[in-house]
DNA sequence: TAGTTTGTAACCGAATTGTTTCCAAGTTAT
DNA sequence: ATAACTTGGAAACAATTCGGTTACAAACTA
């Protein structure tokens, strides 16, 4: 799921609406943290670094827009979508000038909220567009990060490039010449036979220490293939 | 006027609405270029590099959303606000999934459109706020001042620009080529290997003398990233 | 000119990558 | 079926690459 590991904060004082929001966002794959007031939110922001906030405009105590204006002043650049009960012109203006990115009126259409969240995440650069998936592996080429079943797996540069060429060409045996060209490139001159073997084995050990997943299998006399 | 020199493209086939849009946007200080169809827009984008587009969803010939999807595919990342005659759920979804950033229904409230344009410009980095926060660091770009936990930290010009590029691109490994382009710019000619290393280490030492905060970590074989 | 900032160079240590050797498993020939 | 042969895997070792550190020189500022 592409929304996995994206954290969203919701601030809403009406408990049933908060629950509804949490339900829809969770269902879309986001991890959601709800607050009934702005009280402990700043502390949370310092520690967690969530990707986006959905904020009710009318909160008890500190106004939603006031709070966001304060955060902006402090230097927080987190994307904010305001929710409000009515569509008053004054409200709208205050929402945007206080530093909000978008504005929706209640009762909100969940579908639209999700679309707007998605657009805002895209624009603010949270969505890492260049991800490649294979079975339970996710390669984030921008972040140089591999996760297996959601857990990060440490790979070296070479190993990452190697795995990437396999994920790009699944199910087909890649011979050693191809791998050498693709991964090692020009450094082809003077190249020991077993270099690729050793590199492959190190990679296989890292992505499948127990050897039970069988992501990559040798093809005798040819090379390797991603099953 | 803060909107001076910001270029906005409007694509709208109904001439009177186009004029109305041009009027409101010009009054707000933007320089506006209107088109009655998508026809010559791409050529214009190639030459001018406007900051934002306002696009009617229902255009003769190529659909507005289709056109934007095409542009996105071509690699154009320009912010887009869609206008549509009716608020159909299908329309809305198509607007966002084709790569739009915001969506308004006609008849639109000019005030709201201006607010949304402003918010989107802010978010897409056209307007840069002069305070940026990351964890307990606050960078004041106006004053070239950094505070950590409220305490001022002395940075040189270079170090400040360096840290700023990291705060602008958090969580991403920034490779040395990128940093060189971004921070050092044209002086790329004759550039010692270790220059970036040394600069990075000087910066790291200043923002985290004890090395316990781990703001910036090296990514082996790639560069550095702000955690 | 004095003082600060920034780039260069040399060196060190750690992480990564390549080489070698030996062994196991698959393939082929007898 | 078994021996000879070929290829892949494992482990230890060596070489290389890369980042960190320091000292020093050049460039820049006040």
Domain containing A204 — which CATH number? Answer: 1.10.10.10
Q: Are residues B109 and B23 in the same domain?
A: yes
CATH of residue B23's domain is 3.40.50.2300
Q: Do the domain assignments include residue B68?
A: yes
pTM of the model: 0.81
pLDDT tens digits, chain A, 227 residues: what are they? 567 679 999 999 999 999 999 999 999 999 999 999 999 999 999 888 899 999 999 888 888 999 999 999 888 999 999 999 876 667 889 999 999 999 999 888 999 999 999 999 999 887 755 788 899 999 999 889 999 998 999 999 999 999 999 999 999 999 999 999 999 987 666 688 899 999 999 999 999 999 899 999 999 999 999 99
* Total domains in the fold of chain A: 2
Of B93, B109, B119, the CB nearest to A115: B93
Q: Are residues B93 and B24 in the same domain?
A: yes
Q: Are residues A40 and A67 in the same domain?
A: yes
Closest chain A residue by Cα to residue B135:
A46
Closest chain A residue by Cα to residue B171:
A143
Q: Do the domain assignments include residue B149?
A: yes
Q: Do the domain assignments include residue A58?
A: yes
Q: Other C-beta atoms within 10 Å of B56: how many?
A: 25
How is residue B190 written in tokens? 């004759």
Q: Are residues A119 and A194 in the same domain?
A: no
From the alpha carbon of A183, which nucleotide's C1' atom is closest? C17
**Residue ending a domain, choose from A89, A123, A157:** A123
How many angstroms separate the CA atoms of B226 and B49, rounded?
30
β-strand pairing of A31-35 with A7-11 = parallel
Size of interface A-B (CB pairs under 8 A): 80
Closest CA to C10 C1' — which residue? Answer: B194
Q: Dump pLDDT digits (tens) for B137-155.
A: 999 998 899 999 999 999 9
Q: Do the domain assignments include residue B1?
A: no
The DSSP result for B19-71, as a single string, is HHHHHHHHHTT-EEEEESSSTTHHHHHHHH--SEEEEESS-SSS-HHHHHHHH
Is the C-beta atom of B128 closer than 7 angstroms to strand D?
Answer: no
Q: Are residues A135 and A87 in the same domain?
A: no
Q: Are residues A177 and A196 in the same domain?
A: yes
Chain D bases near protein CB atoms (7 A cut-off): 6-12, 17-23
Of A75, A116, A144, the CB nearest to B219: A144
From the alpha carbon of B196, which nucleotide's C1' atom is closest? C7
Q: Do the domain assignments include residue B98?
A: yes
**pLDDT given for residue A129 in this prediction:** 56
Domain span at residue A70? 7-123
Is the C-beta atom of B191 closer than 7 angstroms to strand C?
Answer: yes
Kindly determine whether residue B138 and residue A102, on different chains, have CB atoms separated by under 8 Å. no
Kindly list the residues from chain A whose CB atom is less than 8 angstroms away from the CB atom of residue B133.
74-77
Q: Dump pLDDT digits (tens) for B72-128.
A: 999 999 999 999 987 666 788 999 999 999 999 988 899 999 999 999 999 998 888
Q: Are residues A38 and A80 in the same domain?
A: yes
Q: Are residues B135 and B119 in the same domain?
A: no
**Those residues with Cβ within 8 angstroms of residue B35's Cβ, 6 or more apart along the chain or in another chain:** B9, B10, B11, B12, B41, B44
Alpha carbon distance, N-terminus to C-terminus of chain B: 38
Torsion, CA B43, CA B46, CA B50, CA B56, rounded to 10: 40
The DSSP result for A134-184, as a single string, is ETTEEEETTTTEEEETTEEE---HHHHHHHHHHHHSTTSPEEHHHHIIIII
Q: Do the domain assignments include residue A77?
A: yes
Kindly determine whether residue B221 and residue A92, on different chains, have CB atoms separated by under 8 Å. no
Is the C-beta atom of B197 closer than 7 angstroms to strand D?
Answer: yes
**Those residues with Cβ within 8 angstroms of residue B159's Cβ, 6 or more apart along the chain or in another chain:** B199, B202, B203, B206
Is the C-beta atom of B221 closer than 7 angstroms to strand C?
Answer: yes
Q: Dump pLDDT digits (tens) for A196-225.
A: 999 999 999 999 999 899 999 999 999 999
**Those residues with Cβ within 8 angstroms of residue B146's Cβ, 6 or more apart along the chain or in another chain:** B137, B138, B139, B140, B152, B153, B155, B160, B163, B207
Q: Are residues A58 and A154 in the same domain?
A: no
How close B85 gets to chain A, by Cα (Å)?
A: 17
Q: Are residues A169 and A88 in the same domain?
A: no
Nearest to A83 by CA among A124, A53, A111: A53
**Residue ending a domain, choose from B107, B123, B139:** B123
Of B79, B112, B222, the CB nearest to A157: B222
Q: Do the domain assignments include residue A1?
A: no
- Omega of the bond prior to B85 within 30 degrees of 0, cis? no
Q: Are residues A100 and A12 in the same domain?
A: yes
Q: Do the domain assignments include residue A2?
A: no
How is residue A32 written in tokens? 């959601």
Nearest to A176 by CA among A167, A168, A188, A161: A188
Kindly list the residues from chain A whose CB atom is less than 8 angstroms away from the CB atom of residue B170.
49
Angle at A149 between CA A143 and CA A155, to 5 degrees: 40
- Name the band, by pLDDT with cuts 50, 70 and 90, for residue B61: confident
**Residue ending a domain, choose from B83, B98, B123:** B123
Q: Are residues A141 and A221 in the same domain?
A: yes
């Amino acid at each position: 799921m592409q929304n996995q590991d994206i954290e969203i904060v919701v601030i809403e004082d009406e408990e049933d609406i908060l629950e509804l929001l949490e339900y829809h966002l969770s269902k879309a794959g986001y991890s959601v943290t709800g607050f009934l007031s702005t009280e402990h939110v700043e502390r949370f922001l310092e520690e967690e670094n969530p990707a986006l906030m959905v904020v009710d405009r009318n909160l008890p105590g500190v106004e939603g827009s006031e709070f966001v204006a304060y955060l902006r002043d402090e230097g927080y650049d987190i994307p904010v979508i305001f929710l409000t009960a009515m569509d008053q012109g004054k409200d709208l203006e205050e929402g945007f000038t206080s530093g909000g990115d978008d504005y929706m009126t209640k009762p909100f259409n969940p579908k639209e909220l999700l679309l707007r969240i998605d657009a805002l995440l895209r624009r603010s650069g949270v969505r890492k567009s260049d991800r490649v998936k294979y079975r339970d592996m996710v390669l984030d080429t921008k972040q140089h990060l591999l996760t297996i079943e959601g857990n990060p797996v440490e790979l070296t540069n070479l190993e990452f490039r190697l795995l990437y060429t396999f994920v790009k060409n699944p199910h087909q045996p890649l011979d050693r010449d191809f791998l050498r060209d693709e991964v090692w490139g020009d450094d082809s001159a003077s190249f020991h036979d077993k270099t690729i073997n050793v590199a492959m084995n190190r990679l296989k050990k890292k992505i499948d220490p127990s050897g039970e997943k069988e992501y990559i299998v040798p093809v005798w006399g040819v090379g390797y293939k991603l099953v």
